[in-house]
Chains A and B, each alone.
Chain A
Amino acid sequence: MGTIEDRFRGALERTTRGDAQSAAELLRVVYDELRGLAAARLAVTPPGQTVQATELVHEAYIRLVGSADPGWAGRGHFFGAAARAIRNVMVDRYRAARAAKRGGDRRREEMDSHIVGDGGTDLDILDVDEALGAFAEVDPRAARVVELRFFAGLTGEETAEALGCSPETVKRDWAYAKRWLRDRLARDDGADSP
Chain B
Amino acid sequence: MTREKGLEARARIALEELLALPVDRRDGRLEELVAGDAALEDRVRRLLAATTDTGDFLETPRIARRPADWIGEQVAGCTVLEVLGEGGMGTVFKVQQASPDRLAALKILRTPFASAQELARFDREAGAMGRLRHPGIARVYGTGVLEGDGGGRPYSLMEFIEGDPLDVHAARRRLAVPEILELVARLCDAVDHAHESGIVHRDLKPANVIVDPTGRPVVLDFGIARLLDEPEDEGRAALRTEDGSMIGTRVYMAPEQARGRRDAIGPHTDVYALGVILFELLTSRRPLDLVGLGAAEFADELESRPPRRLSEDRRDLRGDVETIVTKALAKEPHRRYERAGALAADLRRHLANEPIQARRQTATYRLGRFVRRHRVISTAFAVVTLTAAAAVYFAVRASRAEVSAASSAERAEHGMRTIFKLVVRAGTALSELNEKEYDRVTVELQRSAIPSQLHDQVLSILRPVEATSRIADDLIAQPIAEALGEVMPEAFSEQDIELLYLLGSLFTLLGKEATASGLFEQAILQADGVPGYSEESRLLLEYEYAKCLDDRRALDLLKEMRPRVERVHGTDSWAYIAHQSQVVQLLESTNAYEEAFPLCEETLAESERVLGARHVLSASLRNLLGELHWRLGRHTEAVGILEDLRLHLVPGADDDQLGLVLSNLSQIYAELDEQDAALAAALEDLYATQRIRGSAHPELLIAKVNLGQQLAAPHPEAARRLFEEVFAVESNGSSRLATIQGEAMLGWVNLEAERDDADAAEVERLAGRGAELLAQAYGDGNPIAAEGAARAVVAMTNAGLLGAAAAFGLSWQARLAGLGAQLHSLALVTGRAQLADGLLDEARDSFERARDMRAELRIPTTSPESFLGETLVRLGDLEAGLPLVEGTLDALQAQGNRRYPEALQFLIEHHESRGDAERARVLRARRDS
Question: Which A residues fall within an 8 A CB radius of B?
Answer: 38, 42-43, 45-54, 56, 86, 89-90, 93, 97, 100, 107, 109-122, 125, 128, 138-139, 146, 149-151, 172, 175-176, 178-183, 186, 189-192
Contacts and interface: CB of A to CB of B under 8 A. Distances in A.
B148 interface: yes
Interface in B111-156: 112, 146, 148-150, 153
Contacts of B112: 49
Q: Which 5 A-B pairs have the closest CB atoms?
A: A191-B292, A119-B55, A119-B54, A50-B62, A183-B50
Nearest to A100: B68
Contact of A49 (B50, B153, B248): B153
Interface stretch (B238-246, B334-342, B404-412): B238-246
Interface of chain A: mostly helix, strand, loop or mixed: helix
A125 B109 CA distance: 21
A117 B62 CA distance: 8
Given A118-B241, A178-B58, 17 more contacts: A46-B108, A49-B64, A50-B64, A52-B60, A53-B61, A53-B62, A97-B66, A115-B64, A116-B58, A119-B55, A120-B295, A176-B12, A179-B48, A182-B50, A183-B47, A183-B49, A192-B292
A46 B50 CA distance: 35
Contact of A45 (B19, B52, B58, B148): B148
A54 B55 contact: no
A118 B57 contact: yes
Interface residues of B, number: 59
B67 interface: yes
B70 interface: yes
A38 B63 contact: yes
A120 B53 CA distance: 12
A48 B242 contact: no
Nearest to B87: A109
Contacts of A109: 86-88, 244, 247-248
Contact of B60 (A48, A117, A146, A192): A117
A138 B149 CA distance: 39
A112 B66 CA distance: 6
Interface of chain B: mostly helix, strand, loop or mixed: mixed
Nearest to A90: B63
B67 to A, nearest CB: 5
Contact of B16 (A117, A176, A182, A183): A176
Contacts, number: 182
Contact of A47 (B62, B93, B150): B93
A48 B64 contact: yes
Contacts of A86: 61
A52 B153 CA distance: 16
A62 to B, nearest CB: 16
Contacts of B69: 42-43
Interface in B407-439: none
Contacts of B8: 138-139
B87 A117 contact: no
B247 A122 contact: yes
A112 B153 contact: no
B307 interface: no
A132 B85 CA distance: 30
Contacts of B93: 47
Nearest to B52: A178
B35 interface: no
Nearest to A53: B61
A186 B292 contact: yes
Nearest to B1: A137
A52 B293 CA distance: 28
